[in-house]
Amino acid sequence: MAAGHDDTGATATAPTPARTSHLMEALAVSKHFRGVHALDGVSLQVAAGEIVGLIGPNGSGKTTLLNVLSGVYAPTSGKVRCDGRQVEGFRPNRIAHMGVGRTFQNIRLFGHLTVRQNVEVGSVSGHASKGVDHRADVDRLLGRFGLAASADVQALNLPYGAQRRVEIARALAGRPYFLLLDEPAAGMNETESDTLLETIMGVRAEFGCGILIVDHDLRLIMRLCERIHVLAEGRTLAEGTPEEVRHDPTVIDVFLGDALKDT
């Protein structure tokens, strides 16, 4: 497979050197909403430099897991660890300060702020924001994601694809060890999804962070991820390499069943 990130090689001064020791873990995490078991004892690990896919039918708890990992929800039970430190129940900003960045399923930019300001917020509020040349950092990220020309446009006036890129740039501006991407390929066609694949590969190479990606685009997930975690009805259905997951009969069953329901 062509790991197409030629463009990233040009950026010699990566803002954060590749890290190897960072680990984010969910340990037997459950989340119940008034009796609905959105998550039921799910365990998952993401290490620095690793791309992990999180897939499953609608309502299987993927976004809930991302929300628990990023502090939006406190889990009903179970633990979340960031580099060995227990962080479940922390506010999202504290978890962000542990080096966790994220994007949202339905893009959540700071709409009336300019693209540059959006990325700046990430840069000055991230976990390693002391002694950093924010201006250079922001400029580089804007250039890196093809946003330099629209730096002074209000974010809400950007086209959809560019807004997705701003969200990723904003998350990366905080120099995260882990990047959680919630359906970054939603609404994209095959060409755009291929570009996104290259972008995410490039981000890993350049920033060295561990990436957890939720998406329905199996074509993207299968090519992108080293490991895939399959959820169904809040439980782990399967876990393994793309090859293993692809041939897992239970996975085939759930996805095929889902596909049949749709027709």
Partner 1 sequence: MNRFLHSLYVRNVASTSGLLIGILAIVAVIGALSAGTGSSLTLIIPNFFITVIIVIALQMFTGNSGVVSWGHAAFVGIGAYVTAWLTVPAVIKSDVFRAMPSWLIDAQWSFIPTIVVATLAGTLVAALIGIVLCRMKETAMAMSTLALLVIAHGVYANWFGMTRGAQGVYGLPQNTTLWGAFGFASLAVIVGVMFRDSRVGLRLQASREDPLAAEATGVSVVRSRYIAWVASAALAALCGSVWAQFNLAFDPSQFYYTQVFAVLSMLVIGGMATMSGAIIGAGVVTVLSQILYDIEAGSLFGITVPRISGLQQMILAIVTLLILIYRRNGILSWWELDEWVRKGKERFFPGGRPRGGRPVSGDKEGG
Nearer residue to partner 1 within complex by CB, 145 or 255 = 145
Check residue 104 for interaction with partner 1 (CB under 8 A): yes
Torsion of CA 211, 193, 245, 5, to 10 degrees: -60
| Interatomic CA distance for residues 126 and 166, integer angstroms | 16
Q: How far is the CB of 175 from partner 1 (least distance, A)?
A: 10
Angle between helices 134-144 and 160-173 (to 10 degrees): 140
Binding-residue total with partner 1 (CB under 8 A):
45
| CA–CA distance, 198 with 194 (Å, rounded to integer) | 6
User: Out of 154, 192, 233, 246, which residue is the one contacting partner 1 (CB under 8 A)?
Assistant: 154
Residue 68 within binding range of partner 1, rule CB under 8 A: no
What does each C-alpha distance from 21 to 24, 68, 99, 165, 201 come to in angstroms?
A: 10, 22, 13, 27, 19
Q: Does 16 bind partner 1 (CB under 8 A)?
A: no
Residues 71-90 that bind partner 1 (CB under 8 A): 71-72
Site for partner 1 in 109-128 (CB under 8 A): 109-114, 116-118, 120-122, 124-127
Work out how close the CB of 258 gets to partner 1 at its nearest, in angstroms, rounded to a whole number.
Answer: 29
Q: Which residues bind partner 1 (CB under 8 A)?
A: 70-72, 91-93, 96-97, 101-102, 104, 108-114, 116-118, 120-122, 124-127, 129, 134-135, 139, 142-143, 148-154, 157, 170-171, 174
